[in-house]
Amino acid sequence: MSYRTTRSFPSVTLDDVRGAQKMLVGVSRVTAMEGSRHLSRLVGAPVHLKCENLQRTGSFKLRGAYVRIAGLLPEERAAGVVAASAGNHAQGVALASSLLGVRSTVFMPVGAPLPKVAATREYGAEVRLRGQVVDETLAAAQDYARETGAVFIHPFDHPDVVAGQGTVGLEILEQCPEVRTLVVGVGGGGLAAGIAVAVKAVRPDVRLVGVQAAGSAAYPPSLAAGRPVSVEHPVTMADGIKVGRPGDVPFRIVEELVDDIVTVSEDELSSALLLCLERAKMVVEPAGASPVAALLSDPGAFAGGPVVALLSGGNVDPLLMQRTLRHGMAAAGRYLSLRLRLTDRPGALATLLGVLSEVDANVLDVRHVRTDPRLGLTEAEVKLQLETKGPEHCAEVGGALREAGYLVIG
């Protein structure tokens, strides 16, 4: 592909994205577009979900990886490719390489989730576990590239990768031609940049909103500075968008074409993941749920519909899913932790549980403490974990306990 150059960095055109789309025929899936009645009611406009969590390898990453590797010269292909990733990019590179008959080596952190390591191997890559954090893994992969001549496949900072990811934007325009607002998660920026190139060239009136996790939001300070700047020690459960510095290539495109960048909290991410599972019946990783989190956090900001929220991936470790769902339920007021005092006598605990049963609170855990020095001679403390139906039900439970004469400590 040929690229125009902007501020010393190659940029990407609509023709590049269309060329990538032709290249991906028979390789990537045209993923589904599903309506969401719940989000539509919340926003006050039609909301559709673009389901890249159902893409091959479970995320959009296959698109960019395939286009990048397919564009290599024969001698580059012969040298093989190398990548560094904790998950989605690893699987995209592994499958793309296998489809193209190219040897691939993927470096992953030592603590990478076992299902992602196993999937990357099954797609055909040689997996090497190096480093405790992604930066150390990245350095190991780059060392390997220098030592062996293998081509390093960057997850977002290359025009071929940006063009490949941009094919999602073309599909959205075909599936929802009336779209007015498009919401996409942003890490390094490759996906947002590619979509921006495709969508703005055809429909410049479409509003593009990028979403970052508040604990790893490198784009707001970078846009303020007019250049990519780093965020030290990014922290978020959304590892798919946990990137400390925007890529040079996507940054210039995002700066020019993306209308807004917003941030979401960890509570909002976990609530969005829970909503996707319960209401849309979609298994989505936290990064993939970030557009939904943005809709939940400020629905009035997206009233100019139809809105398309891009679910970028569904590769979530089962243990993280379990923790995140619990966090999401707590954030939604569906877990209630209480400590209360009662008289230590036979049947006291059964009476307490009877009060909870009357208000339909589901008891998940009970701890009965009698030997704390803070307690009186005839007192006991009970620690409860309850499943409730929401904030109003929590208030009802607390009121019923107080009305029954219990001292609720917290």
Specify whether the backbone of 180 is left (phi greater than 0), alpha (psi in -120 to 50) or beta.
alpha
From the list 28, 222, 297, 312, the catalytic residue is: 312
From the list 61, 116, 200, 242, the catalytic residue is: 61
Is residue 392 packed enough to be buried (19+ CB in 10 Å), middle (13-18) or exposed (0-12)?
exposed
Nearest Cα residue to 120 out of 153, 145, 155, 83: 83
Rounded (5°) CA angle 172-177-182: 50
Residue 374 has phi, psi (to 5 degrees) of -75, -15
Rounded CA gap, 255 and 189, in Å? Answer: 10
Helix (H), strand (E) at residue 35: strand 33-35
Per the document, the length of the chain is: 410
DSSP per-residue codes, 321-369: HHHHHHHHHHHTT-EEEEEEEEE-STTHHHHHHHHHHHTTPEEEEEEEE
Residue type, position 386, single letter: L
160 half-sphere exposure, CB direction, 13 A CA radius: 16
Map tokens 């784009």 to a residue. Answer: 219
Rounded CA gap, 398 and 410, in Å? Answer: 10
What is the 8-class DSSP label of residue 192? H
Q: How many helices (H) and strands (E) does the chain have?
A: 16, 16
Rounded CA gap, 331 and 271, in Å? Answer: 7
| 312 carries an active-site annotation | yes
| 61 carries an active-site annotation | yes
Map tokens 């990064």 to a residue. Answer: 287
- Max distance between CA atoms of the chain, in angstroms, equals 83
Task: Please list the active-site residues.
Answer: 61, 312
